[in-house]
Homo-oligomer: A and B are copies of this chain.
Amino acid sequence: MAQEKVVPPEETLDPEDWESIRALGHQMLDDMLNYMKTVRERPVWQHAPDRVKAHFNKPLPLDPQPPEEIYEEFLGNVLPYPVGNIHPRFWGWVFGTGTVLGAFAELLAASMNTNSGDLDHHSAIHVEKQVVDWCKEMLGFPTSASGLLTSGCSAANLIGLAVARNTKARFDVRREGIQNAPHKMVLYASQEIHSSIQKAAELLGLGSGALHYVPVNGYFQIDLQALKAAIAQDREEGHLPFCLVGQAGSANTGAIDDLDALADICQQEDLWFHIDGAFGAWATLAPSVRDQVIGMERADSLAFDLHKWMYMPYEIGCVLVRHEEEHRKTFSLTPVYLSREDDGRGLTGGDLPWLTDYGFELSRGFRALKAWMSLKEHGSRKYGRMIQQNIDQARYLAALIDATPELELAAPVTLNVVCFRYIRSGLDDAVLDALNKEILVELQERGIAVPSGTTVAGKYVLRVGHTNHRSRREDFDILVGEVIRIGKELIQSKALSYGIGSVCRR
């Protein structure tokens, strides 16, 4: 064969010494298991010190560094300072907790490093289809629906709304765009809808002004009369209502819209019915709240996460679309009647469509593996029990709060979100807002627990969004006890700054 005159030595990024990297790998694995096993013994969160920030402000590495040293830096600067969401007393926002086998699956997936984007004759594609099929089964979608695993629910919402836009536009949106839409396309969601819906509307070129925020009722559900009125008014103004976004599990209070009623309205009004079910979709697995998500199975598209209430490690979400063809027509650049190779041989042979025909990404990792392994490890019944447990624990916390004079519930507990605040008679809302903010910061800074804060009906409250499989009832006992203790402490120590010297005499 041909030879060049100067042949440089060939290198690779594979290890020079496989046995030393193997030893390091085993050390890492043991450390990670111990880390997960002992998480309860550590503070939920600790403020990363300035030296950590400084550690990650270094010049570009030019030369190799031994992996063992890099791992030491990881142990000293990265591992001790996570957000904290795998801890049993982390309930901020809606974060995920992850599992051991899920983490192992990520090692397997990254070692294979197979690209799940397209092609048919390889295993990852079948694993993903299996996972999507199981999701359809759990969530009541027909087997004819299409689906795609995504980085999370934001991407899933984006895909669902893109299909909605393109399907309902009455012209070729892919070709023409919506720059000259004959009618302004408008969509609807409640004021409590997640911000990713607005982000999607903006990204899709619809504009946040096309997203009509409809008021909510006392249960923080979209108000059906206000919704109908908004649709009627938009029609009167010559706009084209095309989509209604229902919510299964609001971030703020866990509220679930009346999905069955929304499905009826969509049918009557010829609207695409999209549901943001980020975590709440999984309520369907829990006996005590299953009825609340009736109607979900009637959605045209359903977006949800598997890294929140299904407890899998980041990142994994999913979108299901009832109408496979519309889904594919929104994203596929390959006509389905074209078989890549007629006889099914070679990498491009086999069945169409490919997974890339259902989304905006081409190269795709193998996130399906952790879902497939996790669903088999636990089985859907245990997932149902865990979700029910979270709901029961939320109710347990609500009962504790109800029984505690210093605490006050701020919203009905319908699912897994508990909003409450510390109160003291004689303090006005502005003072209580400041006091509860301080209580939250102290809970976090002391590493006791991580609720988040939000505003419900104009009042600042602590918010427990519970999708944590490691929490026990005793963790909520601790939370309540510490909120009371810190509240008292703060009132005593900060009485003057709160301007409440008079109430602190008792």
28 CB contacts below 8 A, A to B, read: A11-B382, A11-B389, A12-B386, A13-B378, A14-B37, A14-B470, A25-B100, A28-B108, A29-B29, A56-B372, A63-B381, A74-B373, A78-B127, A79-B112, A84-B122, A84-B347, A86-B112, A103-B111, A105-B110, A106-B106, A110-B314, A113-B313, A151-B361, A162-B203, A173-B205, A175-B208, A307-B363, A314-B365
In Å, the complex CA distance between A181 and B180 comes to: 7
Any B CB within 8 A of the CB of A256? no
Q: How far is the CB of A2 from the nearest CB of chain B, in Å? A: 5
Q: How far is the CB of A498 from chain B (nearest CB, A)?
A: 16
Contact A203 B202 (CB under 8 A): no
Q: In this complex, which of A78, A82, A165, A453 has the most chain B Cβ atoms within 10 angstroms of its Cβ? A: A78
A460 within 8 A of B: no
Asked whether A195 is an interface residue with its Cβ less than 8 Å from the other chain, the reply is yes
The reply to whether A11 and B386 contact each other, CB–CB distance below 8 Å, is yes
Q: Are A82 and B112 in contact (CB under 8 A)?
A: yes
Q: Say if the beta carbon of A207 comes within 8 Å of chain B.
A: yes
Alpha-carbon separation in the docked complex, A129 to B74 (Å): 15
**Distance to closest chain B CB from A383 (angstroms):** 9
- Cβ proximity bits A41-65 to B, threshold 8 Å, 1 near / 0 not: 0000101100011011111111111
Chain B contacts of A126 at CB under 8 A?
A: 48, 52-53, 55-57
Q: Report the minimal beta-carbon distance from A105 to chain B, rounded to whole angstroms.
A: 8
In the bound complex, do residue B184 and residue A179 qualify as a contact, i.e. CB atoms below 8 Å apart?
A: yes
Q: Once the chains are docked, how many angstroms separate the CA of A97 from the CA of B114? A: 9
A399 smallest CB distance to B (angstroms): 5
Given contacts A109-B106, A114-B83, A472-B10, contact A403 B2 (CB under 8 A): yes
Q: Is A18 an interface residue (CB 8 A)?
A: yes
Residues of B within 8 A of A98 (CB): 110-111, 113
A122 in complex: contacting residue of B48, B174, B377, CB < 8 Å = B48
Select the stretch in A260-268, A293-301, A437-445, A489-497 that faces chain B. Answer: A437-445
Asked if A207 meets B176 with Cβ closer than 8 Å, knowing A13-B469, A365-B315, A386-B11, the reply is yes
Q: A83-B347, A181-B179, A203-B203 are in contact. Are A21 and B100 (CB under 8 A)?
A: yes
Q: Are A369's CB and B78's CB within 8 A?
A: yes
Q: Which residues of B contact A73 (CB under 8 A)?
A: 376
Q: Do the beta carbons of A333 and B198 come within 8 Å of each other?
A: yes
Q: How far is the CA of A153 from the CA of B112 in the complex (A)?
A: 21
- Asked whether any CB of chain B lies closer than 8 Å to the CB of A15, the reply is yes
Chain B residues with CB below 8 A from A127, complex form:
56, 78
Do A154 and B21 have beta carbons less than 8 Å apart? no
Contact A196 to B360, CB < 8 A, known contacts A205-B178, A400-B2: yes
B363 touches A305 (CB 8 A): yes
Is A290 at the interface (CB under 8 A from chain B)? no
Is A8 an interface residue, CB under 8 A from the partner? Answer: yes
Pick from A130-138, A320-328, A409-417 the stretch touching chain B. Answer: A130-138
On chain B, the residues within 8 Å of A83 by CB distance are: 114-115, 119, 122, 124, 347
Known: A2-B403, A13-B99, A177-B207. 11 other contacts (CB 8 A): A2-B396, A22-B29, A32-B111, A45-B122, A59-B137, A64-B377, A70-B101, A78-B112, A107-B107, A115-B314, A179-B184
A window 442-471: CB within 8 A of B: 444-445, 450, 452-453, 469-470
Contact A203 B206 (CB under 8 A): no
What residues of B have a CB within 8 angstroms of the CB of A52 in the complex?
Answer: 123, 126
- Say if the beta carbon of A339 comes within 8 Å of chain B: no
**Known contacts A4-B399, A78-B124; A363 and B314 CB within 8 A of each other:** yes
Q: Cβ of A48 and Cβ of B123 under 8 Å apart?
A: yes
Contacts of A203 in B (CB 8 A): 158, 162, 203-204, 360
Residues on B with beta carbons closer than 8 Å to the beta carbon of A32? 107-108, 111
Contact of A375 among B61, B77, B207, B372 (CB under 8 A): B61
Q: Complex formed: what's the CA distance from A64 to B375 in Å?
A: 8
A28 pairs with B104, CB closer than 8 A: yes
A81 at the interface (CB under 8 A from B): yes
Closest to A171 in B: B207
Contact in complex: B64, A378 (CB < 8 Å): yes
Counting CB contacts under 8 A, is A362 at the interface? yes
**Which B residue sits closest to A180, measured CB to CB?**
B184
Q: Is the CB of B110 within 8 A of A103?
A: yes
Decide: A81 near B122, CB < 8 A? Known: A179-B185, A200-B360, A379-B64: yes
Q: Produce 1/0 per residue, A88-99, CB < 8 A to B.
A: 000010011111
Q: Which of A57, A138, A208 has the most CB of B within 10 A?
A: A208
